[in-house]
Amino acid sequence: MGFESLRGCHSVATFIASVYVPLRKFCSPAISAHVRIIDSNNTCVFNLRGSRAPKGNSFNSSLSMKKTWTVAAALFFFSIFASGQDRPSWEIFGGYQYTYSDYGPIQDVGTAIASNYGQTVNVDHVFTMTGGNVTLQKNIGNHWAAAIDIGGMSASKDADLSQYFQLLGYIPNGTTQVSTFKPNVYTIMAGPQFSLWKYRNAEIFLRGMGGALRSTLSMDETTRKALNFLSPKYKTTTTDTAVMAGAGVQYPVYHQIFIRASADYIHPFSTSSQNYLRISAGIGFAKIGKLF
């Protein structure tokens, strides 16, 4: 190992590969020092005055290219991060829901009672239900979010099964007693939500979720008595897997507070025919940083 050249130096120093000796003590600061260390395997060039390195030096050009790409990459990722700060990290929504329901369990109760007499009966099981829902979402990037939606709804529905109550001797012949059903439906869903389009401050989103739906059906005492006698194994409480798909729009109204409206289709994979078209609207709160 040796030196090919040392220019502008008042003295020459001997180097050992593992020892660093500052050249500023030996060289005039106004003169470039170009030191080439050569061994049998590698050639390394150290430019101590980068801007005055000889042209055509491939090593220094490589270093310059690497610095340029490093700075460009840093600026690119910083710009992504900076733009992502405009979107809050968390959003919490709570609202009122109005649901158009095709609730098959009511028809199933009528069928379970009538089939014991070899008859069929049609019970109206299409009606509306009301309730509320809460959505918690974690925003990821500029468009995606992971969301959990929890909802509950209930209703009251009357049906006429008087002829079977007469056959059972529960009521006198020629009289009428209306059956009152009270269904309660609870949902818990989780899945992705995608911010499709933004116009000024309004945002339109799509979502698709999966989870579970729990249905409980209560009824008046006479109907319950008839069902337990004629079909004792019939279950009025079920829990099934379900899917939900929908779209919505939200708009900020004051600082971190926003309003939201959405429409969702919910379908459980149940032995009873059940389908729900839910419309919900309410108010939400957006938060930057940690949730708690």
What are the tens digits of pLDDT across the range 45-63? Answer: 334 344 444 444 544 545 5
Q: Which residues contact 240 (CB under 8 A, 6 or more apart)?
A: 212, 213, 215, 268, 269, 270
Q: Sign of the CA dihedral 236, 239, 240, 245?
A: positive
> How many angstroms separate the CA atoms of 46 and 146, rounded?
52
- pLDDT given at position 66: 55
> How many angstroms separate the CA atoms of 85 and 72, rounded?
20
Structural domains present in the chain: 2-84 (no CATH), 90-287 (2.40.160.20)
Higher pLDDT, 287 or 45: 287
Question: Is the pLDDT score of 13 beyond 50?
Answer: no
Residue 113 near residue 227 (C-beta atoms within 8 A): yes
Q: What percent of the chain is predicted at pLDDT more than 70?
A: 71
Q: Coil, strand, or helix at residue 272?
A: coil
Question: Is the pLDDT score of 71 beyond 90?
Answer: no
Instruction: Quick: pLDDT tens for 219-269.
Output: 999 999 999 999 999 999 999 999 999 999 999 999 999 999 999 999 999
Residue 280 near residue 249 (C-beta atoms within 8 A): no
26-44: average pLDDT? 39
